[in-house]
Every structure is written in structure tokens, then in C-alpha cells.
Structure 1
């Protein structure tokens, strides 16, 4: 049964500490499993970010792919969105990115991509896990072992296609912080080619991340915020380690609120936008103003991508800065996201003013200790009973935990953490008093069940 197969994939690929969770042996087996799953003579793009363990893992994954009779299209050190793009552009059968995204230096991981640039779906990941668990690999005979081809020039195609998609007028001053990650060369180069005056920070690839930690949090972006203000820049852009995310800093040196920024860009694009159950209702209000709609799905960019594909949405993203642009590629792309924000500022004025004009409700986030064996029964009870403890309930969404929307626009989400032993409460109340009332009732409900 599937439940007996050890789980390797989390919400964003396979990820963990080097030698403890992620080893060359595991990478070899993942490579063998991919070629077994796809069948011999298929083409697989392989890239990696700046981490010190990346060449070791890239060689191991590639060896496994070759052993299964498939071809490796080696793209070298590139941001994750370039791997997704190259998989699509080169009509490859899959893509592999060696990265741990925003995790610290001792971590690494493996993420897999479909021919359209979309991340592997859960059922595909489960198939890879099953092949590895059952040790049922295809081994090509000596005359059919795969070959490696250098496809790094496809980065030039990515650059030209991005610039062709976005018509940006020269003149804006942008500070870009690349976190010593995979976009260290490419993001500043593309922004300059687009006509921006670029000041670059932490733009030397280094797997120790000496400039700042790869997580683009407010605590880690203090230097960027100061440089934007001191240099009089129009905005700042920050990437995580593999540049599938983008965080903005406004012209006053303030880190942009994740939800507000997503709401701004969503309203600019219009149509049907996909986001996650933990995103603010300000996105709904922004889209209502332009005749657009919002669809919510589970937390995780793969769920956003799948929903975009299923309903032919115009745009999608998580509040974390992981945005998908289906008109270009189904892989989250922090560089294209940066260009979208730059274009927005160019069209509509200072980012600080745009952000300040978006009203938001008081927000609260809490987490309650919960053993892993308690999560499922607690959430089953929450699905049936939690809505009944509130009045004026307008909607109940059960796609990922329990999200209750109220008639005045307030909402609360109760969901189990996917990585830690917690139940998380996230909410917005129209007033401070409403927010406190919503939180107190949810917390009391959970504590009583526990």
C-alpha cells in the first residue's frame, strides 16, 4: 500500500540536510527512478543552484539518469525558473533542479518538472517514491547508456523571451539583492537589459550565502531596505537562493506586505487569479474592483500551478512571493515577477503609494502544539464542528484545513502544519475586536479537542 512507502517529497520537492537526509546515494536513486518512470531515450534537463553540495548531487542524479538509458541536458548553475523554461523550450521530457531554495547552506534538495514547466504533481512524486522503495530500476545495456549534452546557451533564449514579453521603458532605479544565489548573474543582467539602472547586492555566487541568509525575510533584508532608501531607488527586489521567489521593497525602504503586493499585481493582470487558502482577503477586494475573481487552493506552488492549469487562470501566487505566470511558463519565476512589479511601478507610480492605498484588516497568526497522531482526528472534527461556533458565516472552504469566511469580509483558517507538530491559526478581522474574538474561539476549540 502507498501508506507503507516512505515519503521523500514534501511541499516543494525532496529537501533536507546534506548527509543526514540528502546523500549522493539518494540522488543516484532519484535519477534512476526518473529514467525508469519516463522510459529509455527520454531527455531530462538538469540544473543546480550555488550550494556547495550541488555538483556532487548533480553528478549523482545525472549518473542515475544515464544508467536508465535517458539523455541529460546539462544546463549548469541557473535559477529554478530557467530549468522549468528550458524543459519546455527544448521539448524535454522532464527537468531536475538541485536546490533547497530558501533553506540554509547545510541543506539541499531535488525538485522535478514536467514538460510544460510545471512541478511534478503529488501522484507523480508518489510513483517516484514507489520505484525507489521497491528498488525496481531499469538498467540500460552498455550500448544504450545515455549521454550528456551541454544546453547552457538556452539561458540566452530565456533572457530574450522574458524581455520580449515585458515592454519596460528605461529609467527606473532598482536595487536587486540576489542572496549569493543562482540569480546572482542573471537577474541584474536582465534588469539592466530591460533598461533599469541597477544596483546589485550579494551578486557573487557563493553556497555559504555570506551576504545574507537565502530566506528573503524582513530580518534578512535590512541592508537592501537601507540601500533603497539611501540611493533614492524606485524599488528593491530580493530573491531567495534559487530565485523562484521575489520580494519587493518600496521607495521608502519598507518591505512590501506580501498580500498587498500580490493583490496589486493580481488586479493589474485581472481575470481569474489563483492563490492559497492562507492569503489575505485584500486580494479578493482588489480583484472585485476590476471585475476579476479569486480561486483558492492548498498551500504550495504545485497546487497553485495545478489549479491555474485546470481552470485556465490568468495568474497565480502565494503570499510568500512564489508567483506563476502561465503566459510564459508554469514554473514559479522570481525574475519575471520582478519585471511585473517594475512595470507596475512604471505605469502607476510609486510603490509606497500603491501599497498604502490597499486597505487591510488586522491580522493574527498563532500556532498550537499538536502531536502528529492528533492532527487528522482534530481536523476531521474541525471540518464538521468549527463553523458552528461562529455567527454570520458566509463560506466554508475545506481544500486545505478549514477556512471560514464571514459576511463582513473577516476570515479564519485552521490547518495542520505540513512540516512541524503544530496546528496553525491564521485570520483577518475587520476590527481588532473582531480579530481577537475569532482567534479566542478558534484557539479554545482546538485546546478543548486536544
Structure 2
């Protein structure tokens, strides 16, 4: 049976779609075969805690094995355990079924090479092309891959506690009903942290506060930090690739502030930052005598640049923080253990160790999935005429002495994202209004014209 392969689900750094509509078990089997054809390697597979993840994982594994590659299935685990399986245990290339921070109806797969590096955007596109063409191997019964089962959670936990220094610090963990519940509380406690938890029960619907730890969803964490006199609050997304922090006052920290905290704690050196990160990094770097390198939004870009430059820290505004010596681990649990260990070593309240956040705002404008990149391309041409020099590292960024604005198409959602920083609230309001209206205007224009993506 020929399976319809919607190429738009093969995104810049992973594969994602709504279960039952864009993403089906039949498609996932084809994706597995295409990935095995492209990578020519055995695979380790696992999944997050979504209700559709186990069956999609099995479909993915069946496609990989049908193309002749063998599979080690590590079950339901946080993403850090997947990187541990690939990088440390060397079980093969990684195929992890997850939709990370997206709502429970979404799912997808993240692919990594056997060296732990995510597939690059052109590689994911090629997997999509192979899937659409059906140009993958189908050996007979003698040539199919074999299946092994392995429980890696305890091994991963041992790796964590043997890698990070313990400390006496009071920490609240908001586990978001996701996969980090399976490991993080035990690892923190074994290292000597005084730990309380929120939303620890695994829930495929993420009904506690949702899969994405947005600052506006962290009110319970903030209250718990204050009421229990904790030093730090930590919140994870659905699969545990991101961690968001609060200070002892319960105030959410920007990832850029966390990067400064790490640098102050001894991780001095180049910082690699995504295009949408705050300019506070450049201000700190100038004072500290270090360098900031900007890359497009997406963990793939950040990790590759960290490895290329030997950077000490990698940071994305979305919440990913990478420690240079663990650059191939996209792991919020590992990052949070390091951050809390560093915070304890500095011996002062976190609020006193980080710079104040600038005035900023983030806006999402919903657009058709197939037109979002066209909208941004049109705006690039407009802004080149309006502002002269613009930065097109990722979308279009306009910078001035008292503000900067970034407009870019999301790689994970049908939205155009707008990030704004400004010196005062009035300017911030005016910029948000202008650039939001620009996106909406261009989107309406393209729809009227019946533009093809």
C-alpha cells in the first residue's frame, strides 16, 4: 500500500505533525525505512510519554528493521537518556518519538547520527524525499533487522550522578507531567539537593500546566519557590530537552541570564546564542571580555557551532542550554543539575548573580503552515527597503541603538514569531504593534493572491 508522505512535516530540525492527520503509524513506518536507508546504521529508539508515542515508536522500529537495520528499544524515557544511549553507550543512531513542548495531539521524531549530532535540515529533507519516493531497501526474511530491548534509565541516572557535583541547595522541580518525572527527582536527591516536586505524575495529556514551560504557566512553581524558601525553581518541557529556571523570588529567568550565571560560575569562554536571544549577552560579553556568536534558531545549529568553535556555553531563548563539554547532550536534566551545582558554588542568591532582564516581548502570529516562510520572505524585501541593512541569519532582524526586532517563521508551529526588545515601554508597544500588523498585512495579501507556498 502506497503511503501519502506530506513533505511539510519534515521540518528544519525534526519531523512533526498532528497524530491521525499528518502523522500516522503507516507514515512512521515509512519514515523509519527512509531514515535507515539514509543513515546506514543500527538505531536506538525510544519515546516520550504521549499516548500516541508507544505505537508510533513501534511503527518506526518496524520500518527501520524492514530495511535491514537492527533496533535497540529503550522504551519510554526522557530525551537525555536517548543521548546517553547514543553518545555514551554507542547503541546506534537515535530515533526518538516526541513532539517536545507541543500539545498532546502532536507527535513526531527527532533523528541523530550515531555520533550524537542531530540530522541537519538538508538531511531531514532528504529523509522526506526518500520516504516520498519509496526508494528504500526491502530485504527478504534473511536480511531484516533484529530487535533488542534495553532498560537504560538506571544507567542514565548513574551517569548523571557521577558527572555532576552534588550540593546543598533547596530546589523545586516542576516536572510538567512529562518524561523527566522518570529520572530527575531521584538524580537530584542522590546528589544531595533538597527537592520538592510539582506535577510529578506522568500524564499523556500534560494536564497540570501543559507541555511547554512558558513563564506565564509557571505560577504554581513560583509560589512554591517562595512559600518553601527554595533557592531555585526548575521546570521541564514534555520530553526534557529544555529546562526553565526561577530565582529564589520565584521570578522566571531568561535562558540568557542562566548563561551568564554559568559563565560567572566558571564556564568562561565563547557563548553561542540563537538569533532570538537577548542582547544582554553582548552587554555581558563586552564586560567579561568574551565573545558571542549568533546562529539560526534550532538546537542543531547551536550544537554544531559549539563543537566547531569550542564554545563554553550554548543557549537558545526557547530554553535550551548546552554545556560545552556535553555539547552533544540536548538534555534539560543534565543542564539543570549543572546550573544548580554552579548556583550553590557561588554562595549568593541567584537574583544577585544575574543581570536584570531587558524590556522585551514575544508575539506569535498564526499563519497557514504552507505560507509562513513566504510571509517572512516578503517582509525581508520590505524591510531592506525600509531600514537598509538587516540581518537575515534567521528570518529578518532589525537593530537600532534603542531596540531590536526579529521576525521569523517557526520551524515547529504554523506561526510567525516576533521578538522585540526596547529601552522603554512606549517604544516596545509601538514596535510590537507595527511588526504584528506588518505580518498580518502580508499574510492577508498572499491569501488574497492565492499564493502557492
Give 1:20 shift: 1.0
TM-score (norm 1): 0.88
2:58 corresponds to which residue? 59
Call closer, same or farther: CA 1:127–1:93 in 2, change over 3 Å.
farther
- Confirm whether residue 250 of structure 1 aligns to residue 247 of structure 2: yes
Q: Note the 1:173-322 alignment, pairs <5 A.
A: 173-268=170-265, 269-322=267-320
2:49 corresponds to which residue? 50
Call closer, same or farther: CA 1:366–1:238 in 2, change over 3 Å.
closer
1:361 corresponds to which residue? 358
- Confirm whether residue 331 of structure 1 aligns to residue 337 of structure 2: no
- Confirm whether residue 138 of structure 1 aligns to residue 137 of structure 2: yes
What is the CA–CA distance in structure 1 between the aligned matches of 2:83 and 2:143, rounded to whole Å? 27
- Confirm whether residue 414 of structure 1 aligns to residue 411 of structure 2: no
User: Residue 399 of structure 2 is aligned with which of 394, 397, 405?
Assistant: 405
Give 1:97 shift: 0.6
Call closer, same or farther: CA 1:419–1:176 in 2, change over 3 Å.
closer
Give 1:28 shift: 0.6
**Between Structure 1 and Structure 2, how many residues are aligned?**
434
Question: What is the CA RMSD across the aligned residues, in angstroms?
Answer: 2.7
Give 1:32 shift: 0.9
Give 1:418 shift: 4.4
Give 1:129 shift: 0.5
What is the CA–CA distance in structure 1 between the aligned matches of 2:100 and 2:9, rounded to whole Å? 17
2:422 corresponds to which residue? 429
2:28 corresponds to which residue? 27
What is the CA–CA distance in structure 1 between the aligned matches of 2:202 and 2:128, rounded to whole Å? 32
Does the CA-based 8 Å contact 1:79-1:243 persist in structure 2? Answer: yes
What SS does the aligned partner of 1:289 have?
helix
Give 1:367 shift: 5.7
What is the CA–CA distance in structure 1 between the aligned matches of 2:8 and 2:178, rounded to whole Å? 28
> Which deviations, in whole Å up to 9, do the C-alpha atoms of 1:331-374 show, x marking residues without a partner?
3210112112212321221123334xx14432244566777285
Give 1:98 shift: 0.8
Does the CA-based 8 Å contact 2:362-2:420 persist in structure 1? Answer: yes
What is the CA–CA distance in structure 2 between the aligned matches of 1:422 and 1:36, rounded to whole Å? 32
What SS does the aligned partner of 2:49 have?
coil
Q: Note the 1:106-145 alignment, pairs <5 A.
A: 106-145=105-144
What is the CA–CA distance in structure 2 between the aligned matches of 1:241 and 1:132, rounded to whole Å? 27
Give 1:241 shift: 0.8
1:391 corresponds to which residue? none
What is the CA–CA distance in structure 1 between the aligned matches of 2:12 and 2:22, rounded to whole Å? 16
> Which deviations, in whole Å up to 9, do the C-alpha atoms of 1:49-75 show, x marking residues without a partner?
111112111111111111111111111
Does the CA-based 8 Å contact 2:39-2:113 persist in structure 1? Answer: no
> Which deviations, in whole Å up to 9, do the C-alpha atoms of 1:161-201 show, x marking residues without a partner?
333332232x2111111112111120111111111011122
Does the CA-based 8 Å contact 1:44-1:92 persist in structure 2? Answer: yes
Give 1:420 shift: 6.1
1:392 corresponds to which residue? none
Call closer, same or farther: CA 1:117–1:419 in 2, change over 3 Å.
closer
What is the CA–CA distance in structure 1 between the aligned matches of 2:44 and 2:441, rounded to whole Å? 51
TM-score (norm 2): 0.87
2:69 corresponds to which residue? 70
